Every structure is written in C-alpha cells, then in structure tokens.
C-alpha cells in the first residue's frame, strides 16, 4: 500500500481538499486504484451539528455518516464511494481509546497520546486503505500546521514512514504565496510553513503553492532552495476559471509522473480525455441558463457545494453554462418580491435546510414556480416546501405547515412519524445515507431515471410528508412519483418524490441526489432539471 499525506500551512481553506482530490484524479487516470481519507482535528464526532457558514455543507456518505465536505470532492474527482471510516476526527479517536481503557483493554498501561492515540489514528487510516483494496491512499490532514489540535495526527503520519517504509510514503505540503500591494508574490510564508512542518519531524517530498497567478520558474527554484525540495517537485496551484482544470494543471506540471517515481509505481500514461472535454464544454458552452437558487445560506456557496457541483455536472452534460443567481429566502416577503427576484430566471431550485428562518420566502418561490410554469426542482426541504405550498393553495388546507415550523399547525402536512416521536434522542430520528425509493410507472420521474423500479438516493432529513394527508393532496392533483418500499406507515409508503402533471417541470425529492452526482456520471434529476430550464429559455426567446 502506498500512502500520500497532504498537509497545509500558512492559512486554512487553501484548497487542500481540491489538491488531494486532483492528485487522486490524475493517479486514477493513470490506472492506479485510489482511495482517500480526511482527518479533521476537531473534537466533534462528526460534522453533523456544525454551522454551514463556519464549515460549509455536511456531506453524507452512503452508509449514513455526516462528514466533512471534502469527502464529496473525493467522490466526485475519484468516482468512488467513501464511508464513515473515511472521515477521522479527534472526537472519534479519543472516544474509542477511552472506551477501550474503560474495558481494561490496555491492562496496566498508562494510556497516552503516544502511542495509544497515534496508534489508533494509524489503524484507522490503514483500515480505510485495506477496505478499499486500493493501490494508493491519499490522506488529507485538516487544519494548519502549527495548530495544537493537529499534533497527534502529524505525529501519526510521521511514524507511518517508519512503519510502511520510505518508498511507500510521501508527504505533500500545500502553502500560500500571497500577493502584496506592489503585485509581488512573496515566498516567505511558504518557507516558514515548511520550517514549521519540519519542526514536527516531517520533511515534505512535494510542495504545492497556492497563488493568484501561475508561479514562475525563478520563484519555483527559490522555494526549492529554501525548503530543500527538488525544483521539479514544487508545483503551482494558481487560480483557475473552472474547478476541473486543476487536475490538468497538475498533470501538465508533472505531478503524476513525479509521484509515480517517488513511490516506485509503474509509470502509466494518463487518460485525461474526460477532464479535457469537461473543461472545454465549460469554456465554450453551446447554451446557457439562469437558475435561481433560493436558500438562507446564500452568502457562502460552500453551504450548498454538492448541489452547485450537481448543477455544474448537468451543465457539462447539456453542453450548457449554468449561471447561479442567489436568492435569499428571507428577502422574499411578498408575491411581488418573488416576481421581481424570479421572473427573469429559467429555473428555480429550493434546496435543503433546517429551521424556521426563510421558510415563508421559500414557499413564495415554490408558488411562483407552480403558477408561472417555471421549472422547479426541490431537494429535501424543497420537497416539503412544495407540499406545504400545494396544500395551502391547491388542496385548500388553510394553515398547512410542518410541525418543524409550527407544532400546532392546523394541518400538519409535514411532521415526525410516530416511531420518531417515541425516542428522546433527536439524532436518532434522522434518515441518513442510502435509502431505496420505488419510482411509480407513468411518471416524469420514471423518464428522468429511466426506470419504474427501485433506486438508491442518499438522505439527510428528519421530517416526512404526513401519510394522513397524502390522499387529500393526491386528489387535489399532486403526483406522488416515488415512495419508500417496505416502510409503510399506516398503509402508505413514505413519500420520496412529488411532481405536477400540468407543468413543464415541477419535481421534488425528499432525498439529496446531489451527493451521488459525479462529473462523469451526472445525477438524473439534475440533468433533467437543467434540460427543462434550457427548453424553457429557448421557448421564451
């Protein structure tokens, strides 16, 4: 097994995840089987309770783990399915070690950071690599070198070189070369960052330098001189217009070849045709559409990262540029506000979320899309919003709402199921990970997925469409296009998807199809939504 450890310095949010993912992509393009691990030094057990504005979206794996968003990057770039084991946190590691100590598994030993915590970290890394049957495991260490909480993880990866041998381990350090007011790009932060890394006992084999513009040869040699890294192993990670240019930029600079040389891997010519084609379609699209993204975390796009990527994938497959117009749901206070914000758009997407804030604005957006025949795509909460709006204005259920927003709602068309109410553990009420949905024959969703059978989509939600109201909604014209098989509640399967017949495209899913979308395998609902938006645009011009 070969291990590549990716660390970061100078500042956080440098793009270590994109670097690790792009590295994995070019190695995969060379025929190597690659998996990835994300280490997060925070004490939380997982990312499930973190604020989106602070941490970005919560990515959900197929086995139901709420993880760091970088696992989504790994899945999209490497076309793999990660698991809960792929995200290692301080909380997980210490919890396991403490539980073992309480059970007496360490006998009379004094339990310490070294070797007990570091051994647990190494065991977890190896377990992911072995389970994936991979040739190479890329391990990204979150945080910044110098952070006190990262020290046990850095010590663990330092000692893995002795455990696994030199030719099986490589260290790649991502740093920043900032541009000062004179326009000069400074290398001193990179020099200090590498020195800080060396103070932990790790000397990088490769350095990736983030900068606004491409690094010149003189700067590359200067960094190599002051960090004792060979010049051909110093790489420029400059700002690019399109995310999927990054693997191509690294390959052009020789990163894949040098990794193979350093780890004594078979040298295989890369097959990067897909990435070249994807970038070409983004640079020179045949069409374009304008999509209104109605949400409450619109000030930080990473809060909806997988949805944005799903839209990007759909654009690539439709040879279409997708322009995102952020619409703050809290700004939609009237039908006039909704009209002003949405009338010039080709499609409307209402995404996921928790809590009361912005709900009425989202309902106004769904109503506008329904009445004005605008393509509408609802994801998770976006389905519940569509159901509430339809219940109020088409099924004439005055006061319809979700018990999440109004526990005394006159018509609780969305609510917790009885078995969820029986538990005191709120986390235990979540539906997480892969759940089946059976698509009903004759529906638009059947055309979208190409099947009337059962498909898997990932979930992250607590509230459901109330089975007591399904029949009344259906009688008013709502189409339940997919249900959860084998999960009957009082005779009715849980609603997984809804649509409208008298509409060019009005589809909403209880699941999060964005989590399974890949640039090489676009999510069917995303592709269908962008296709519908493109058709709507062409009809209006």
**Does residue 115 have a cis bond before it (omega within 30 degrees)?**
yes
* Tens-digit pLDDT profile for residues 417-468: 765 555 555 445 688 999 999 999 999 999 999 998 999 999 999 999 999 9
Q: What is the DSSP letter of 89?
A: E
Summarize the confidence of residues 178-192 as an average pLDDT. Answer: 88
- Split at pLDDT 50, 70, 90, the class of 356 is confident
What are the tens digits of pLDDT across the range 284-320?
A: 999 999 999 999 888 777 889 999 999 999 999 999 9
Please give the positions annotated as active site. 380, 512, 514
**Domain assignments of the chain as residue spans, ordered by start:** 2-277, 285-540
What CATH number has the domain spanning 285-540? Answer: 3.40.50.880
pLDDT classification of 488: cutoffs 50, 70, 90: very low
- The token pair at 317 is 């497959």
The CA distance from 26 to 32, in Å, is: 9
Q: What is the pLDDT confidence band of residue 508, given thresholds at 50, 70 and 90?
A: very high
What is the spatial distance between Cα 338 and Cα 294, in angstroms, rounded to a whole number?
Answer: 10
Q: Which two tokens stand for residue 283?
A: 């640079």
DSSP string, 293-319: EEES-TT-GGGGHHHHHHHHHHHHHTT
- CA quadruple 162, 164, 169, 173: dihedral sign: negative
- DSSP letter string, 354-398: -SSTTHHHHHHHHHHHHHTT--EEEETHHHHHHHHHHHHHTS--T
Cα angle: 145, vertex 100, 65; to 5 degrees:
60
Beta bridge partners of 457: 435
Q: Does residue 130 register a pLDDT over 90?
A: yes
Give the mean pLDDT of the chain. Answer: 93
What letter would DSSP give residue 265? P
Q: With 60 as the cut, is the pLDDT of residue 183 above it?
A: yes
Beta pairing partners, 288? 321
Per-residue pLDDT tens over the stretch 376-418:
999 999 999 999 999 999 999 999 999 999 999 999 999 987 6
The H or E element spanning position 328 is strand 320-328
- CA separation for the pair 450, 454 (Å, rounded): 11
User: pLDDT grade, residue 491 (50/70/90)?
Assistant: very low
Q: Residues 1-22: what's their mean pLDDT? A: 93
Spatial neighbors of 274 by CB under 8 A, at least 6 apart, are: 519, 520
pLDDT digit string, tens, across residues 308-353: 999 999 999 999 999 999 999 999 999 999 999 999 999 999 999 8
Q: Which residues have a Cβ under 8 Å from the Cβ of 434 and sit 6 or more positions away?
A: 62, 63, 64, 456, 457, 458, 459
Question: What span, in angstroms and rounded, lies between the C-alpha atoms of 99 and 29?
Answer: 42
C-alpha span between 497 and 379 (Å, rounded)? 9
Q: Are 380 and 307 in contact (CB under 8 A)?
A: no
Here the tokens at position 50 are 């973190």
Look up residue 15 and give its two tokens.
């793009």
The answer to whether the CB of 372 falls within 8 A of the CB of 343 is yes
- Counting Cα atoms < 13 Å in the Cβ hemisphere of 483 gives 17
pLDDT score of 422: 52
pTM, two decimals, is: 0.93
Q: Are 458 and 516 in contact (CB under 8 A)?
A: yes
Residue 278's pLDDT is: 95
Distance (Å, rounded) from C-alpha 17 to C-alpha 149? 19
State how far Cα 257 lies from the chain centre. 28
Architecture of domain 2-277: 3-Layer(aba) Sandwich (3.40)
Asked if the model's pLDDT at residue 137 lies above 90, the reply is yes
Residue 489 confidence (pLDDT) above 50: no
Distances (CA, A) of 356 to 337, 369, 390, 447: 19, 21, 19, 34
| pLDDT number for residue 292 | 97
Q: How far apart are CA 216 and CA 219, in angstroms?
A: 5
451 and 439 Cβ atoms separated by less than 8 Å: yes
């Amino acid at each position: 097994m070969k291990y590549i450890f990716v660390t970061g310095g100078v500042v956080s949010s440098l793009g270590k995840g994109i670097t690790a993912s792009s590295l994995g992509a070019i190695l995969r393009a060379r025929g190597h089987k690659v998996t990835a691990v994300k280490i997060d030094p925070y004490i939380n057990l997982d990312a499930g309770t973190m604020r989106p504005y602070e941490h970005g979206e919560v990515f959900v794996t197929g086995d139901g783990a709420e993880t760091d968003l970088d696992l989504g990057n790994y899945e999209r770039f490497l076309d793999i399915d990660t698991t809960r084991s792929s995200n290692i946190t301080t909380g997980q590691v210490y919890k396991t070690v403490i539980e073992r100590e309480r059970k007496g598994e360490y006998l009379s030993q004094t339990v310490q950071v070294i070797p007990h915590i570091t051994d647990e970290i190494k065991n977890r890394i190896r377990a992911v690599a072995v389970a994936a049957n991979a040739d190479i495991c890329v391990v990204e260490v979150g945080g910044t070198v110098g952070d006190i909480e990262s020290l046990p993880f850095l010590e663990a990866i330092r000692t893995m070189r002795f455990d696994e041998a030199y030719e099986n381990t490589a260290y790649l350090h991502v740093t920043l070369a900032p541009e000062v007011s004179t326009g000069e790009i400074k290398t001193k932060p990179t020099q200090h960052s590498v020195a800080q890394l060396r103070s932990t006992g790790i000397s990088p084999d490769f350095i990736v330098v983030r900068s606004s513009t491409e690094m010149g040869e003189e700067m590359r040699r200067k960094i190599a001189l002051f960090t004792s890294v060979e010049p051909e192993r110093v790489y420029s990670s400059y700002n690019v217009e399109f995310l999927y240019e990054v693997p191509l930029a690294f390959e052009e600079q020789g990163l894949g070849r040098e990794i193979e040389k350093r780890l004594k891997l078979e040298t295989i010519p890369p097959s990067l045709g897909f990435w070249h084609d994807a970038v070409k379609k983004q640079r020179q699209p045949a069409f374009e559409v304008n999509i209104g993204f109605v949400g409450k975390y619109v000030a930080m796009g990473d809060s909806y990262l997988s949805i944005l990527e799903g839209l990007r994938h759909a654009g690539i497959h439709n040879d279409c540029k997708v322009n995102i117009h952020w619409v703050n749901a809290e700004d939609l206070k009237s039908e006039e506000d909704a009209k002003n914000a949405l009338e010039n758009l080709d499609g409307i997407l209402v995404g996921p979320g928790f809590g009361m804030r912005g709900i009425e604005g989202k309902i106004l957006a769904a109503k506008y899309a329904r009445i004005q025949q605008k393509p509408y795509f609802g994801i998770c909460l976006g389905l519940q919003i569509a159901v509430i709006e339809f219940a109020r204005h088409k099924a004439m259920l005055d006061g319809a709402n979700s018990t999440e927003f109004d526990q005394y709602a006159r018509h609780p068309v969305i609510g917790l199921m009885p078995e969820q109410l029986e538990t005191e553990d709120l986390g235990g009420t979540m539906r997480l990970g892969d759940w089946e949905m059976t698509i009903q024959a004759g529906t638009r969703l059947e055309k979208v997925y190409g099947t009337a059978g059962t498909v898997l989509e990932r979930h992250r939600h607590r509230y459901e469409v109330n089975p007591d109201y399904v029949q009344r909604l259906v009688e008013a014209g709502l189409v339940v296009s997919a249900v959860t098989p084998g999960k009957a509640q009082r005779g009715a399967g849980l609603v997984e998807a809804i649509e409208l017949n008298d509409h060019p495209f009005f589809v909403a899913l209880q699941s999060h199809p964005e989590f399974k979308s890949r640039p090489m395998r676009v999510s069917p609902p995303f592709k269908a939504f962008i296709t519908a938006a493109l058709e709507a645009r062409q009809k209006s011009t």
